[in-house]
A and B are shown apart, each in its own frame.
Chain A
Amino acid sequence: MQRFFRSPRLLEIALPLAAVFIAFAIGGVLLWLLGANPLEAYWVLISGAFGNLNGLTSTLIKMTPLLLVALGICISFRGGVINIGGEGQIMMGALAATAFALWLRDLPGWLLLPLTLLIGAVAGGIWGAIAGILKARLNVNEILSTVMLNAIALQLMNFLLRGPMLDPAQIAAGTNVAQSETLPKSVWLLRLAPPTLLHSGVILALILAVLVYFLLWRTTIGYRIRTVGLNPSAARYAGMPAPFYIALSLTLAGAFAGLAGAVEVTGVQHRMLEGLSGGYGFSGIVAALFGKLHPLGAIPASFLFGGLLVGADKMQRAVQVPSALITAINGLVVMFVVASEVYVRRARRRAGREAAEASLKIEPNVHSVQTTAP
């Protein structure tokens, strides 16, 4: 019985939940101070995110870009590079996809849609590759370059959306609001549950999660990316060109973020506009790490994190507290959940030792205990 309570599997689920609970408890005090009923608020949060069709589809819509970005983050963090350039990569992907779909708007949808998504991924990939090549060739740290590239992408978007890509209708109306023309209907992703905005992009993201799992654990490229990430010098000894794999992992991370941008454009917005990246570049990192940097773990992680974001918005509306409170609680959740992982790791190590000792007594061949070290 005691064994069961100390088993790492159980802790792996229980501890993050406990961390969320503590963050909510602190948030609850703040809610109470603002004159809201915390229990009511949190009930709205949970039921609002998962309790009805509207909430559930909103969560799935939110999950889609989170999961796509998180998949890229899984690859890059496994490859030992910290990609915080998701925001810029999303913007570049969305811009390129929009420009492409508007340019070749007369192509049939079965051709135009895949090409549009591909172009989005390529553009995001290029934006990631810039940081990757800078790191591989010129030793420019990726945190620096991705932060700067985010700012550059933002200005490029401003420039394009108020000039070359500005919606002609906005010019005609004289309002000049920075957004592109509406995309041709042929590239709109299929709506899965009208009237909600849920679109087929979520299916694409789920399929890609499985593919990334195969890429990372069933292919040579994946093996090498992980080796370079875990131990660059060992990888070099084994004859792997580490710089190449570093550049590759940032490129792939950028491609997934770019695809997320293209999916947002074709699935949700149907045009390019400001604020499209919506913080997914950062939230995606959180989702990836909640999923233990595992592509399949990223699925429930981005679903739950997406639900948290959706539910928190509903809660703001229901009990009418400033949105800033929600942001603060989200920050607490993120901090406490990552902090709780240390206990999972310790429990796993302890279990590993105990298992090793036990098996030593019974049979000589010891099972090696795997620990996933990010």
Chain B
Amino acid sequence: MRKFSWSLVLVLLAGLVFSACAAPVAAPAGGEVAATAPGAETAGGDAAGGDAAAPLRIAIIMPSSITDVAWSQSMYTGLKAVQAEMGGEAAMQISYTENMFNVADAATAIRDYAVDGNDIVIAHGTQYGNAMFDVAVEFPETTFAWGTAIDTGADKGLSNVFAYEAQAQEGGYVNGVIAALMGDSDTIGVVGPVEAGDAKLYIDGFVEGVKATKPDMQVNVSYTGSFGDTALAAEAANTHIKAGAKVLTGSAQQVVGAIGVAAENGVYWLGTQSDQSPLAPEWVVANQLYDWTGVIKDMIAKREAGAVGGAAYSLTLNDGLVIQFNDQAPVPAEVKAAAEKAIEDIKSGVITPLK
């Protein structure tokens, strides 16, 4: 009986394992799969066998997964884009640690990456700040970057830290303008995660954009109390729709559920942080994208010029924040025009959201 149960366990797990390995052949999607596996090989094996010009090595610690369709994915996508532009693995290597919701673990990761000789270590979460500053003191040659933040540690005597943030309210405002003009009802719904940080900035900006466009518009805001409660976010979307909303928005990785509900009910969605169009190609009207490539490239350029840190970056519509319309969704020309005008007004300072 004992032998029997052990063999059962093994057979069962073997079954699961083989279903895992057999499937990639059958899977139609290739891009992301291919992107992970070769990366793994090079990072593990070939890293040390440096060519004549050693590649730039960037390491990043993220609070959620690289496929969260939100905050973490936005930075990972940016790194990948810069890598491709610089000439792939030979020119730049990326190492990442994802799902680091525990700050003590992140602290270990930051130190490991610094010890390991990475050129740039990105701590992609405000919560990592203290831990990163501790390590940054010891590795003055290494560039550190963190966000959402504006503190480069100058008051601590540090010159090797970059800080970055996103003025999420700017794109939020523009999304609000679009939302106000898209729906043929007088109600808009917002599916928020936790009433703090980046999400709050975006949502407050969004509400302001709606109200500036159509002051009588009713904007209902709800929060699920979690970044990852996909089911409750979906039900929140349902509730907004029942309450009359014809346009929805929301933020954090939980929104994948809400976007599905929007598509199912034929309701428009406005995305933020990452490109959410693939989730509902006909209903995601526009996304506010966090395009970090400019920030990353500037950090690399500064570093090559001898400044290992010291600058604070802010993504704005002038630089880094992009409002991307989804071509598959039918967006009337006058809506696009109004959005463009809002973008121009914010860029030129005529409008300053949340001021």
Q: Which residues of A are interface residues toward B (Cβ below 8 A)?
A: 26, 29-30, 33-37, 40, 54, 58, 61-62, 154-155, 158, 161-162, 166, 173-179, 182, 195-197, 264, 268-271, 273-276, 278-279, 309-310, 313-314, 316-324, 332, 343
In the complex, chain A residues whose CB is within 8 Å of the CB of B45: 37
A33-B21, A54-B115 known; A178-B194 Cβ under 8 A:
yes
Chain B stretch 283-317: residues in CB contact (< 8 A) with chain A: none
A33-B20, A35-B41, A173-B150 known; A322-B36 Cβ under 8 A:
yes
A161's contact among B17, B111, B196, by CB below 8 Å, is which?
B196
Given A33-B17, A54-B111, 17 new contacts (CB under 8 A): A62-B105, A154-B226, A161-B196, A162-B194, A162-B195, A166-B196, A176-B200, A179-B127, A182-B130, A269-B104, A269-B130, A274-B101, A310-B105, A314-B108, A317-B112, A320-B95, A323-B98
Q: Do A35 and B194 touch (CB < 8 A)?
A: no
Q: Do B103 and A268 touch (CB < 8 A)?
A: yes
Interchain nearest-CB distance for B100 vs A (Å): 8
Q: Which residues of B are interface residues toward A (Cβ below 8 A)?
A: 2, 13, 17, 20-21, 36-41, 43-45, 63, 65, 95-99, 101-105, 107-109, 111-113, 115, 126-127, 130-131, 134-135, 137-138, 148-151, 165, 194-198, 200-201, 225-226, 354
Interchain nearest-CB distance for A152 vs B (Å): 11
Q: In the complex the two chains form, what is the Cα distance from A29 to B10 in whole Å?
A: 12
Greatest chain B CB density within 10 A among A175, A268, A276, A309 is at A175
Listed by A's residue number, 28 A-B pairs whose Cβ atoms lie within 8 Å are A33-B17, A33-B20, A33-B21, A35-B38, A36-B41, A54-B108, A54-B111, A155-B225, A175-B165, A175-B197, A175-B198, A176-B196, A176-B201, A178-B194, A195-B134, A195-B135, A195-B138, A197-B104, A269-B104, A274-B127, A275-B127, A276-B103, A278-B105, A313-B105, A320-B96, A322-B36, A323-B65, A323-B98
Q: Do A36 and B44 touch (CB < 8 A)?
A: yes
Interchain nearest-CB distance for A318 vs B (Å): 7
B37's contact among A35, A58, A182, by CB below 8 Å, is which?
A35
In the complex, chain B residues whose CB is within 8 Å of the CB of A274: 101, 127
Q: Do B197 and A279 touch (CB < 8 A)?
A: no
Q: In the complex the two chains form, what is the Cα distance from A293 to B44 in whole Å?
A: 39
Greatest chain B CB density within 10 A among A37, A177, A276, A314 is at A177
Interchain nearest-CB distance for A319 vs B (Å): 4
B197's contact among A30, A54, A176, A343, by CB below 8 Å, is which?
A176
Q: In the complex the two chains form, what is the Cα distance from A174 to B98 in whole Å?
A: 26
In the complex, chain B residues whose CB is within 8 Å of the CB of A30: 17, 20
Q: In the complex the two chains form, what is the Cα distance from A268 to B41 in whole Å?
A: 34
Residue of B with least CB distance to A33:
B21
Chain B interface SS verdict (over half): helix
A175-B165, A176-B201, A316-B97 known; A34-B37 Cβ under 8 A:
yes
Number of A-B contacts (CB under 8 A): 141
In the complex, chain A residues whose CB is within 8 Å of the CB of B135: 195
Interchain nearest-CB distance for A326 vs B (Å): 9
In the complex, chain A residues whose CB is within 8 Å of the CB of B108: 54, 58, 61, 310, 313-314
Q: In the complex the two chains form, what is the Cα distance from A182 to B133 in whole Å?
A: 13
In the complex, chain A residues whose CB is within 8 Å of the CB of B134: 195, 197
A320-B40, A323-B99 known; A313-B150 Cβ under 8 A:
no
A33-B21, A316-B97 known; A61-B104 Cβ under 8 A:
yes
Which 10 A-B pairs give the minimum distances between C-beta atoms? A278-B102, A162-B196, A178-B196, A275-B101, A320-B43, A177-B126, A320-B40, A177-B197, A319-B44, A58-B108
In the complex, chain B residues whose CB is within 8 Å of the CB of A276: 103
Q: Do A178 and B197 touch (CB < 8 A)?
A: yes
In the complex, chain A residues whose CB is within 8 Å of the CB of B115: 54
Q: In the complex the two chains form, what is the Cα distance from A158 to B195 in whole Å?
A: 8
Q: Do A37 and B44 touch (CB < 8 A)?
A: yes
A54-B111, A279-B102 known; A318-B150 Cβ under 8 A:
no
In the complex, chain B residues whose CB is within 8 Å of the CB of A36: 40-41, 44
Residue of A with least CB distance to B67:
A322
Interchain nearest-CB distance for A336 vs B (Å): 8
Q: In the complex the two chains form, what is the Cα distance from A37 to B130 in whole Å?
A: 34
In the complex, chain B residues whose CB is within 8 Å of the CB of A40: 44
In the complex, chain B residues whose CB is within 8 Å of the CB of A179: 126-127
In the complex, chain A residues whose CB is within 8 Å of the CB of B44: 36-37, 40, 318-320
Residue of B with least CB distance to A52:
B115
A269's contact among B20, B99, B103, by CB below 8 Å, is which?
B103
Q: In the complex the two chains form, what is the Cα distance from A126 to B131 in whole Å?
A: 31
B225's contact among A54, A158, A177, A269, by CB below 8 Å, is which?
A158
